């Protein structure tokens, strides 16, 4: 589904040049569950951002669904992104001024769904995430775990092919963390490709494959489980 | 989609309640003030334009030259009008006006009223609608008069006034032939009675030397001012002779009707006019207040937007296109400024009565009728909304989602430069206003306290209308003097700011080439002592010299200087009858301090007296006034007792300036308030932005005071810069305004410092609240920054 060739990402300030990613070659097939691990500062989030087309590589190529997208315009990438990818962040990133329902609905608004379609879809997702009693609450009124559930709900409401999760359990206690991982697992079983960045080896074991990053390089890949197409 | 934006816009408003309120209130106050001032300016500009043929109406005035000095006089001779119509084909009609005060009596009602007289053609030229009566006929009959609605109610109540006879004392009976609608307030002169010009001025119909009347003409559509000007000298020669044309350069130029109210300042105007300068000042003030408010609004809005970067980032991640984000922010901004507009309109309506009483007008906010109003307001809302919204809209929407998600945005250097300059401009404008207010106040207090050359305190002016009282003025004076609290009584025609008129005069040694005119005041023997005017040489009029009555003259120093005599006493002089100069008085301010002291002659001529001036003791003033009233009613039963205090009459000469002072005072306070609102909001924002920095500094050992100084330093620097910008502009503006006064203060340096200090203190107070709040915050909280 996605493939990168010799990906390089360099951050430049006035005097300092930091290489966040160097020579990253990876390929992720549709339906896979991949975890990316590594110490802080090794470039995990950067890699995830490039995979999600939120950022561009400084050099190298990136293929998304067969297209080489690193030179695409922002508009094209945004379109691909919104049609195919859902994001889950460590700090939830919900909009405080919107209710749970409205937060989940947001991607559908930008995709141009009609009011009735949106309503239907959001209701489905609310049920799926067991958030129905909370639909009119604001993020401030929810616990961390509930907020992340909302974020996940938002990520899947448009039925994306790929979900990118950047330390989704980072701000949650173990009980809620487990819950989110379980959710992701269920999504995976229904066919969504999942790439998750995580610190925790325990959570990483939910995946098919663990990619270890160190100082911007892929140092190893562990196959956890059989990936059958 | 739109609903989503709307929802968010309102929730953002509610979430940041305090900021939103500050923001919108500032904008609303600015817009409301601008709106009211705009209405005022619009009204001033509209004077006399309601006449259908206003564009074609002109007033002829009198202009002549003596010794290089050009004099202009609004009053013209009676034959001028008809002569202009005769000689100039482009002058279609002429209407002459005369005015005098009469005691009107009808049945048991007697009042002194100003009565105007005009040629019957007045309705062909001006638009004065009649409620009763046919405009073609009302003034054609001799001794006919028309009255205004107000007068009809006053004298006749429900009765029909047509055909009734009223008496104009000392003159004759007049028959009422019509009732006209009240003359609109935006006219350069107004009247309640209009009689026929012929009845009033027939005896002057071929007197070119008696310039007593006002002449208005109606020109044809293709009237050419220049061609008229060219032919004017020949016209003057034909009717007045070569000498008048060449020696005295007499001419009768035209001024357009619509320019009179704001631009005409001739001697002998019907009513005091306003001033185009005031219009400029108020327009400038309106503009600047609005500017401050808008700058404020833009500044505060953009400051707040930085904290929405995360939301922007998220929306982008979730699929918003740049265009959609731009629309969202612009929409929010327009919505907020529209709310501000609604609030502004409410404020304006609320304060309209107060404004009307301050300005002396009766303005209304006519949303539908006033063509400029609604579009103007809409334009302002659009301008403010779009400007305030576009900065965040374009800037934020261009952000990289990743960076935006990372949290609070560090304001880009370009943006903070903008913010800085906005605050500096606001404070610069406020400082200019403070400066102007202080200067205007100073000038007014200087005027009020300046020595006038005579004692104006505790001097009561009583007008004399009754001819009989005039004849017995000596007796009345003596009766008044019987009261021990009255130390002096004088009869004269002096009233502050006015003179009896300008007379051609002759003096011993005058050459043939001159035709000078001089101000003169008829006074009695007691004028100089009662007023406390100093004699420089010679003597006052004296009862020991009966020939002094109409045979002696007292000049002021300026008059002597103008004539050029070395020893004026004993020289011959004439304005009405030939006489001798018996005394010279020190120059005193008989007119307002707007003007230089002119040459003046005092003449003992009782027929012209118009006022008693009574000097009373400062104790028990009410009792003395009661005594005067009782004595007056006893001695002059035919005339109501009226009085005024001379010092107040003098103050009234500066009504325009006092109004300016009040309005400037208010506007300055508003401007400062708005600027402070802005500063307050920004200080809060800045403190928020630097939360992490402050936390770190505190952990490292900074004291609370140190933090406060750190946060305040930025702002105080801005205010100091604002001063540098403001000072030259303020100085320029006030120097120009002060030039309206012949006697004025000089703009002192200390005023600059005072304005600067005030602005500085206000800024400091405003900022300190936020600074202190930030400085005492716990560093643990601040550092738990994500």
The alpha-carbon gap from A228 to the nearest alpha carbon of chain B, in Å, equals: 31
Q: How many residue pairs from chains A and B have C-beta atoms closer than 8 A? A: 59
In angstroms, what separates the C-alpha of A68 from chain B's closest C-alpha? 20
Residues of B in contact with A49 (CB under 8 A): 402
Report the pLDDT value the prediction gives residue B785, as an integer from 0 to 100.
Answer: 46
Q: Closest-CA residue in chain B for A92? A: B314
Residue in B311, B324, B786 closest to A95 by CB: B311
> In the prediction, which pLDDT does B290 show?
85
pLDDT value, residue B786: 43
Query: Cβ of A154 and B402 within 8 Å?
Result: no
Which stretch of DSSP H or E encloses residue B713? helix B704-738
Residue B96: which of B123, B73, B72, B76 has the closest Cα? B76
Query: CB-CB: which of B318, B324, B400 is closest to A107?
Result: B318
| Contacts A74 to B, Cβ<8 Å | 322
A163 vs B301: CA distance, rounded Å: 36
Give the separation between CA B431 and CA B755, rounded to whole angstroms: 6
**Residue B257: CA count within 13 A, CB half-sphere:** 26
- Sequence-ordered list of residues with C-beta below 8 angstroms from that of B778, at least 6 positions apart, any chain: none
**What does pTM read for this prediction?**
0.74
Mind giving me the DSSP string for B143-212? TEEEEEHHHIIIIITTS--TT-EEEETTTEEEEEEEEEPPPPSSSSS--SEEEEHHHHHGGGTT-TT-EE
Q: Do residue A109 and residue B4 have CB atoms under 8 angstroms apart?
A: yes
The pair phi, psi for residue A49, each rounded to 5°, is: -65, -35
Residues of chain A with pLDDT under 50: none
Q: Give B329→chain A minimum CA distance, Å.
A: 15
Cα–Cα distance measured from residue A187 to residue A193, given in angstroms and rounded to the nearest whole number: 8
What lies within 8 Å, CB to CB, of A127 at 6+ separation is none
The length of chain B is 786
Q: How many angstroms separate the CA atoms of B713 and B57, rounded? A: 62
Task: Tell if the CB–CB gap between A87 and B318 is shorter than 8 Å.
Answer: yes
| CA separation for the pair A119, A135 (Å, rounded) | 12
A50: nearest CA partner in chain B: B402
H/E segment holding residue B132? strand B130-132
Detail the DSSP E strand segments found in B586-682. Answer: 600-603, 611-616, 644-645
Which of A110, A119, A147, A162 would best serve as a mutation to test chain B binding (most B beta carbons within 10 A)? A110
Q: Which residue of A has its CA nearest to B313?
A: A93
Rounded CA separation B601/B584 (Å): 9
Which residues pair with residue B148 across a beta bridge?
B180
* Contact residues for B700 (Cβ-Cβ < 8 A; gap 6+): none
- Contacts (Cβ under 8 Å, ≥6 apart) of B318: A82, A87, A106, A107, A110, A154
B786 → chain A, closest CA residue: A91
Q: How far does Cα B775 stand from its chain's mean position?
A: 49
Q: Is A63 helix (H, G, I), strand (E, B) or coil?
A: strand
**Which residues of B are less than 8 Å from A107 in CB distance?**
318-319
Contacts of A54 in chain B (CB under 8 A): 317, 400-402
Rounded to whole angstroms, the Cα distance separating B410 from B404 reads 10
**What is the distance between the alpha carbons of residues B142 and B222, in angstroms, rounded to a whole number?**
35
Q: Is B314 within 8 Å of A54 when comparing Cβ atoms? A: no
- What's the rounded Cα separation, in Å, for the pair B230 and B236? 11
Q: Which residue of B has its CA nearest to A49?
A: B402
Mutate: best of B305, B318, B398, B408, partner A, most A CBs <10 A: B318
Which residues of B have a CB under 8 Å from any CB of A? 1, 4, 7-8, 11-12, 15, 310-311, 313-322, 324, 400-402, 405, 786
Cβ atoms of residues B50 and B128 within 8 Å: no
Could you tell me which chain A residue has the CA closest to the CA of B5? A98
Q: Are B73 and B502 in contact (CB under 8 A)?
A: yes
C-beta atoms of A97 and B12 within 8 A = yes
Q: Going by C-beta distance under 8 Å and a sequence separation of 6 or more, which residues neighbour residue A134?
A: A100, A142, A146, A150
Taking an 8 Å cut-off on Cβ atoms, the answer to whether A96 and B15 are in contact is: yes
Q: Do A110 and B319 touch (CB under 8 A)?
A: yes
- Using an 8 Å CB-CB cutoff, list chain A residues near B7: 97-98, 102
Nearest to B762 by CA among B677, B704, B685, B667: B677
List, for chain B, all residue ranges whose pLDDT scores fall below the cut of 70. Answer: 1, 66-68, 170-171, 306, 406-415, 499-501, 513, 778-786
Q: Which residues pair with B147 in a beta bridge?
A: B179, B193
Could you tell me which chain A residue has the CA closest to the CA of B324? A110
SS3 of A137, please?
Answer: coil
Q: Over the stretch A75-99, which tens digit does the pLDDT of each residue have?
A: 788 888 888 899 888 888 888 878 8
């Amino acid at each position: 589904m996605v493939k990168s060739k010799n990906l390089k990402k360099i951050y430049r300030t006035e005097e300092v040049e930091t290489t966040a990613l160097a020579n990253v070659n990876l390929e992720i097939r549709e339906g896979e569950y991949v975890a990316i691990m590594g110490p802080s500062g090794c470039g995990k989030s950067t890699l995830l951002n490039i995979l999600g087309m939120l950022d561009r590589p400084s050099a190298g190529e990136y293929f998304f669904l067969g297209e080489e997208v690193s030179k695409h315009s922002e508009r094209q990438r945004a379109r691909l992104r919104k049609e195919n990818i859902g994001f889950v962040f460590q700090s939830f990133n919900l909009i405080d001024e919107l209710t749970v329902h409205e937060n989940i609905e947001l991607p559908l608004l930008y995709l141009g769904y009609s009011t009735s379609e949106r309503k239907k879809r959001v209701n489905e997702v609310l049920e799926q995430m067991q958030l129905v009693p909370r639909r009119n609450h604001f993020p401030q009124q929810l616990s961390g775990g509930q907020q992340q559930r909302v974020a996940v709900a938002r990520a899947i409401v448009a039925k994306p092919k790929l979900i990118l999760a950047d330390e989704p359990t980072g701000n949650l206690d173990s009980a809620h963390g487990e819950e989110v991982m379980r959710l992701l697992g269920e999504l995976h079983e229904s066919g969504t490709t999942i790439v998750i960045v995580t610190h925790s080896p325990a959570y990483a074991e939910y995946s098919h494959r663990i990619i270890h990053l160190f100082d911007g390089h892929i140092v190893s890949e562990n196959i956890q489980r059989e990936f059958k197409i | 989609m739109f609903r989503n934006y709307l929802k968010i816009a309102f929730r953002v408003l509610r979430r940041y309640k305090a900021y939103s309120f500050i923001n919108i209130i500032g904008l609303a106050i600015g817009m409301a003030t601008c709106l009211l001032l705009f209405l005022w300016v619009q009204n001033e500009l509209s004077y006399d334009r309601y006449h259908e043929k206003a564009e074609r109406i002109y007033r002829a005035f009198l202009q002549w030259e003596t010794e290089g000095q050009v004099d202009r006089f609004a009053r013209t001779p009676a034959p001028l009008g008809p002569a202009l119509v005769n000689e100039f084909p482009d002058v279609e009609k002429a209407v002459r006006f005369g005015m005098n005060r009469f005691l009107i009596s009808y049945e048991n009602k007697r009042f002194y009223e100003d009565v105007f007289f005009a040629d019957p053609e007045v309705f062909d030229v001006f638009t004065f609608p009649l409620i009763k009566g046919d405009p073609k006929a009302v003034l054609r009959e001799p001794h006919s008069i028309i009255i205004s609605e107000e007068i009809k109610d006053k004298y006749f109540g429900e009765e029909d006034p047509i055909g009734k006879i009223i008496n104009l004392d000392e003159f004759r009976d007049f028959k009422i032939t019509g009732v006209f609608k009240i003359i609109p307030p935006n006219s350069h002169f107004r009247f309640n009675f209009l009689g026929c010009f012929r009845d009033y001025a027939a005896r002057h119909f071929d007197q070119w030397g008696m310039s007593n009347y006002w002449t208005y003409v109606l020109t044809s559509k293709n009237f050419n001012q220049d061609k008229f000007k060219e032919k004017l000298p020949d016209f003057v020669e034909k009717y007045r002779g070569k000498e008048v044309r060449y020696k005295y350069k007499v001419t009768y130029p035209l001024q357009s009707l619509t320019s009179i109210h704001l631009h005409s300042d001739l001697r002998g105007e019907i009513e005091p006019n306003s001033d185009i300068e005031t219009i400029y000042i108020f327009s400038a003030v309106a503009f600047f207040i609005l500017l401050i408010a808008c700058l404020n609004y833009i500044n505060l809005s953009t400051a707040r937007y930085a904290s929405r970067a995360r939301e922007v980032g998220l929306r982008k991640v979730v699929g918003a296109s740049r265009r959609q984000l731009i629309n969202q922010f612009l929409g929010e901004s327009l919505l907020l400024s529209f709310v501000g507009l609604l609030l502004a309109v409410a404020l304006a309506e609320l304060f309209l009565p107060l404004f009307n009483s301050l300005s002396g007008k009766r303005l209304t906010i006519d949303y539908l009728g006033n063509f400029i109003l609604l579009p103007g307001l809409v334009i302002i809302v659009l301008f403010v909304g779009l400007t305030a919204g576009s900065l965040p809209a374009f800037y934020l929407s261009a952000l990289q989602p990743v960076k935006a998600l990372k949290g609070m945005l560090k304001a880009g250097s370009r943006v903070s430069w903008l913010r800085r300059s906005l605050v500096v401009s606001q404070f610069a404008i406020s400082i200019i206003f403070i400066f102007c207010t202080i200067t205007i106040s100073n000038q007014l207090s200087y005027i009020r306290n300046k020595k006038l050359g005579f004692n104006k305190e505790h001097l009561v002016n009583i007008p004399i209308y009754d001819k009989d009282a005039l004849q017995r003025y000596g007796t009345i004076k003596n009766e008044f003097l019987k009261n021990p609290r009255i130390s002096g009584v004088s009869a004269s025609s002096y009233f502050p700011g006015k003179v009896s008129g300008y007379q051609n005069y002759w003096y011993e040694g005058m050459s043939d080439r001159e035709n000078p005119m001089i101000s003169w005041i008829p006074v009695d023997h007691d004028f100089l002592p009662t007023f406390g005017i100093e004699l420089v040489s010679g003597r006052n009029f004296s009862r020991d010299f009966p020939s002094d009555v109409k045979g002696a003259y007292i000049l002021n120093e300026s008059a002597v200087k103008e004539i050029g005599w070395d020893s004026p006493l004993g020289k011959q002089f004439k304005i009405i009858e030939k006489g001798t100069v018996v005394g010279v008085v020190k120059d005193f301010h008989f007119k307002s301090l707007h003007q230089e002291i002119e040459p003046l002659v005092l003449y003992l001529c009782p027929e012209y007296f118009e006022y008693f001036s009574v000097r009373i003791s400062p104790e028990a003033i009410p009792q003395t006034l009661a005594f005067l009233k009782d004595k007056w009613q006893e001695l002059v039963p035919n005339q109501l007792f009226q009085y005024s205090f001379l010092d107040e009459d003098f103050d009234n000469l500066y009504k325009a300036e006092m109004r300016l002072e009040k309005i400037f005072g208010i506007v300055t306070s508003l401007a400062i308030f708005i600027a402070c609102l802005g500063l307050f909001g920004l200080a809060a924002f800045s403190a928020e932005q630097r939360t992490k920095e402050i936390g770190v500094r505190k952990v490292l050992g900074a004291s609370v005071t140190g933090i406060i100084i750190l946060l305040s330093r930025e702002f105080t620097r801005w205010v100091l810069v604002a001063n540098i910008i403001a000072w030259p502009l303020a100085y320029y503006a006030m120097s120009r305004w002060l030039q309206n006064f012949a006697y004025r203060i000089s703009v002192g340096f200390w005023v600059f410092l005072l304005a600067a200090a005030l602005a500085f203190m206000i800024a400091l107070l405003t900022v300190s609240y936020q600074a202190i709040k930030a400085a005492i915050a716990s560093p643990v909280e601040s550092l738990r920054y994500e």
